[in-house]
Copies of this chain bind each other. A is one copy, B any other.
């Protein structure tokens, strides 16, 4: 059912997502034990191939792998011979020849994990590629909503902020739509992609309308202040109009929850108060991230593409 690689939520069926969430629920129990380790992936090798720096994602995958007893190898280009102009694909092929059971790839350019997956024997997990997808982030967001609300189907989910540059938004739009939620996006107009409604979402520029009746509000990180001027007048004005605080949450349902992929720019996307307190569930998202990555490593590792090497280095 599930394919060999996890490159994006776009490629998954609803049944695939449900299976991953169900597996993650089991994995979460392991994290609550005193001995947070099971022998499931003993003797398997997980490679974290991170071309782009990352805090939480690399550590989250590393902890997930170790809780499953896998051997985890971190490899980031700062330590690598990519400085010696070795191409990305040759680096990946070289690691692949050491027979890893799964390779986690993060890269600043959309599509690189797919290009790597095309040449590797080992299955590839996309840990974020440019503005394309970040599937494990969306899966942990789905898990968190399911845990808080008991269901996803029929909920109203409002995503606030820089939709056009956000892989988190794209993956979540696919994920929540496939799971039966209504998805809204709201942002300054230049931050809403032209064809966003073809993805089945409703676009707003008014927070009041976008939040009306929402069960879940997800704020996106403003990646940097360089956007000010071209995408919105100033950080201060962005925060006043699109920053979440308790006043704006009045438009949403009483039991609304607030999510953010982190790290939060406090006082911009979220008020200081919301960054730290319910109804925000940011730390639950982080905790669920480990469970999702354990599930994904369990479900995808070891799905080697038989004969791939033979094809590449086949007799001429």
Q: Is the CB of A94 within 8 A of B262?
A: yes
A93-131 interface mask toward B, CB cutoff 8 Å, 1 = contact, 0 = none? 111111110000000000000000000000000000000
* Smallest CB separation, A308 vs chain B (Å): 11
Is A44 positioned at the interface, with any CB of B under 8 Å from its CB? yes
Q: Is the CB of B263 within 8 A of A98?
A: no
Is A58 positioned at the interface, with any CB of B under 8 Å from its CB? yes
**Chain B residues in 8 Å Cβ range of A34:** 43, 302
**Chain B residues in 8 Å Cβ range of A47:** 59
**Identical chains in the assembly:** 3
Q: Is the CB of B45 within 8 A of A58?
A: no
Q: Is the CB of A99 within 8 A of B45?
A: no
With A37-B43, A43-B37, A53-B79 known as contacts, the answer to whether A264 contacts B59 (CB < 8 A) is no
With A37-B42, A63-B45 known as contacts, the answer to whether A94 contacts B55 (CB < 8 A) is yes
Q: Which residue of B lies closest to A304 (CB)?
A: B34
Q: Is the CB of A71 within 8 A of B81?
A: no
Q: What would 13 more interface pairs be, CB under 8 Å, given A56-B81, A278-B315, A284-B313?
A: A32-B99, A36-B43, A37-B42, A63-B71, A78-B78, A90-B262, A98-B286, A98-B290, A99-B287, A277-B313, A279-B316, A281-B313, A283-B312
